[in-house]
């Protein structure tokens, strides 16, 4: 195949912002090339430079071996299909398609021939003289393609051209575009952020990030052999796991060594490991490489998407004391008051304020009309040491209640292998409060003051799971265990077998299904 376009070391800056950082790329005749990346990666800028709407700050674009820098957009042998089509609203379908030929002053009968051929290529015979604004998205798309192709360009540029269509139509247009490209036999350069689109249509995919090319390859190459975590994440659903390359063909994650086919890394080099969900097989427990518990099963049409936890996260169990309703009634004042005892961290004693005490004790007073009465008295004497301290709340009319503040040492569990810490405190509640909660998991996290963090950088880690063994509708007084835990290792699996949530299973894959990548940056 002949080289058609050579992009040589293109740099583009807008003010102080560097949008393209030295892009080099060869594009061949009759090739369907996709520039793939998230918004802001510079793919559209590159396309606009090839089209001639932007001048590169540095570098060259060669076409057929000639530098085209000096050729203005309207003389270039390329045509563009714009993101929102940019059809001329004052012209009908026919005149939109004929526009370029009329500008070139081609004879009328030739124009008519060419336009009619294009109209039938994109299947719009019945819409020739329709107003373009009255067309559907898919029809407008076809007009835009026909309008560009009728000029017989060497290269057709498509800027996110399918993004405005709905999902079904987009799939249909993907096939159609590929068909059209085969039929007219010219180079298509397609810009998109949709990896599925790129995989379906392209001969060559160019993955871009922050103005640089990360990987160039065929769809199969970029899918099976992503060069780094970024490309792996961008192309397809993946399990991407932090691991260590023990030696050639042996990789370790979650304290277990696995066979793989990769080599050429340093010994004990930290790496990213990719295992595609469709490469993992579900087998009986203890029959695979690793055991796990099914956390969720989602039906996806043809297959099920199964999430299995293979090692648990960091967890902390606390005791929830369910006490009886302790409302104090003050019939003379016509008021009632309630509050509950609470546990608190020794480290928080210094920063304790009245409003925080009220909030933690959930103290409130109300009158006969069920209107809240303000708490004007908050009395407590908490020392900076472990112990139990009384605390009294009261209203203007003398309605009072006394509860205990239990100051305890920090209740922290640190898990060295997960590099995570978690803390939570015991707490008191009434059965009513449990029953009335609308988001019990969230409330339990708040009541227990549960909090988890990453020990490496102290960033917050989400509490992923709250486990308890009571029924919140029929709970009685007594003590209950509540366990808070962070997310463990979860693997995504695609399977056609039906499987139940909570099932304990084994997982298996072949050594060649593990793909090891160098860490980025």
Partner 1 sequence: MEQKTRAYEKIWLVLIMAFFYLPIIYVVFFSFNSSKSLSTFTGFSLQWYEKMFANRTIMESIWYTVSCAVIATVVSTIVGTITAIGLSKSRKTLREAVNQINNLPMLNPDIVTAIGFMLLFTSLRIKTGFTTMVLAHIAFCIPYVILSIMPKLRTLDPNLAEAALDLGCTPFQALWKVIIPQIMPGIISGALIAFSMSFDDFVISLFTTGPGINNISIYVYANVKRVNPTINALSAIIVYVITIVLIIVNVVPMIRERRKKKDEQLQNS
Binding site for partner 1 (CB under 8 A): 51-53, 72-75, 78-80, 82-84, 86-90, 99-100, 103-104, 147-148, 151
72 or 301: CB nearest partner 1 = 72
Give dist(CA 462, CA 242) in Å, integer: 19
Distance of CA 22 to the CA centre of its chain: 28
Shortest Å distance, C-beta 48 to partner 1: 8
411: which strand partners?
none
Shortest Å distance, C-beta 71 to partner 1: 12
Shortest Å distance, C-beta 53 to partner 1: 5
Phi and psi of 400, rounded to 5°?
-135, 155
End-to-end CA distance of the chain: 35
131 or 257: CB nearest partner 1 = 131
Biggest CA-to-CA distance, the chain:
103
Q: Which of 205, 181, 143, 157 is nearest to 52 (CA)?
A: 157
Give dist(CA 7, CA 17) in Å, integer: 21
Shortest Å distance, C-beta 73 to partner 1: 4
75 or 460: CB nearest partner 1 = 75
82 or 380: CB nearest partner 1 = 82
75 or 167: CB nearest partner 1 = 75
How far CA 1 is from CA of 29, 221, 238, in Å, comes to 6, 20, 34
Shortest Å distance, C-beta 8 to partner 1: 23
Query: For the chain, what's the residue count?
Result: 521
Shortest Å distance, C-beta 86 to partner 1: 4
Shortest Å distance, C-beta 84 to partner 1: 7
90 or 504: CB nearest partner 1 = 90
73 or 476: CB nearest partner 1 = 73
- Which residues fall within 8 angstroms of residue 230, CB to CB, at 6 or more apart? 207, 209, 214, 520
Beta strands in 313-464 (DSSP E): 315-323, 328-330, 335-338, 342-345, 364-367, 372-373, 377-380, 387-394, 400-408, 412-415, 420-423, 427-430, 451-454, 460-461
């Amino acid at each position: 195949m002949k080289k058609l376009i050579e992009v040589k070391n293109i740099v583009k800056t807008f003010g102080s912002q560097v949008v393209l950082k030295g892009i080099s790329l060869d594009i061949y005749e009759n090739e369907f090339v996709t520039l793939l990346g998230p918004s802001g990666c510079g793919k559209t800028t590159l396309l606009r430079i090839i089209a001639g709407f932007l001048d590169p700050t540095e570098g060259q674009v060669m076409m057929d071996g000639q530098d085209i820098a000096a050729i203005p957009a309207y003389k270039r042998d390329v045509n563009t299909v714009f993101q929102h089509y940019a059809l001329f609203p004052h012209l009908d379908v026919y005149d939109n398609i004929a526009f370029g030929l009329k500008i070139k002053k081609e004879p009328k009968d030739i124009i008519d021939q060419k336009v009619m051929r294009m109209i039938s290529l994109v299947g719009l015979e019945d819409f020739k003289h329709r107003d373009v604004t009255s067309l559907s998205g898919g029809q407008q798309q076809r007009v835009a393609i026909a309008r560009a192709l009728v000029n017989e360009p060497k290269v057709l540029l498509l800027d996110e051209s399918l993004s405005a269509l709905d999902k079904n139509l987009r799939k249909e247009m993907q096939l159609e575009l590929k068909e059209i490209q085969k039929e007219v036999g010219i180079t298509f350069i397609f810009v998109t952020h949709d990896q599925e689109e790129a995989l379906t249509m392209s001969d060559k995919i160019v993955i871009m990030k922050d103005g640089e090319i990360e990987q160039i390859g065929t769809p199969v190459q970029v899918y099976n052999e992503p060069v780094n975590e970024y490309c792996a994440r961008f192309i397809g659903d993946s399990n991407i796991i932090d691991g260590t390359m023990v030696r050639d063909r042996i990789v370790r994650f979650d304290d277990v060594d696995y066979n793989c086919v990769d080599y050429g890394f340093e010994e004990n080099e930290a790496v990213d490991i990719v295992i595609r969900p469709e490469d993992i097989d579900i087998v009986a427990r203890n029959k695979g490489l690793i055991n796990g518990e099914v956390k969720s099963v989602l039906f996806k049409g043809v297959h099920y998407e199964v999430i299995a936890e293979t090692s648990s996260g960091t967890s902390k169990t606390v005791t929830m004391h369910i006490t009886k309703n302790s409302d104090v009634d003050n019939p003379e004042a016509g008021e009632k008051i309630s509050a509950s005892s609470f546990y608190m961290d020794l480290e928080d004693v210094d920063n304790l304020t009245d409003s925080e005490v009220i909030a933690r004790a959930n103290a409130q007073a109300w009158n006969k009309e069920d209107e809240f009465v303000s708490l004007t008295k908050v009395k407590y004497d908490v020392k900076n040491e472990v112990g139990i301290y009384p605390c009294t709340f009261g209203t203007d009319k003398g309605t009072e209640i006394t509860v205990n503040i239990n100051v305890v040492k920090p209740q922290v569990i640190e898990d060295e292998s997960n590099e995570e810490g978690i803390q939570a405190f015991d707490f008191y509640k009434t059965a009513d409060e449990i029953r009335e909660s609308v988001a019990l998991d969230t409330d339990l996290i708040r009541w227990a003051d549960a909090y988890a963090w990453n020990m490496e950088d102290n960033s917050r880690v989400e509490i992923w799971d709250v486990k308890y063994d009571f029924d919140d509708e029929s709970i009685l007084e007594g003590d209950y265990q509540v366990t808070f835990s962070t997310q463990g290792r979860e693997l995504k699996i695609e399977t056609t077998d039906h499987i139940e949530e909570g099932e304990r299973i084994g997982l298996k894959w072949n050594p060649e299904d593990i793909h090891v990548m160098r860490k980025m940056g």
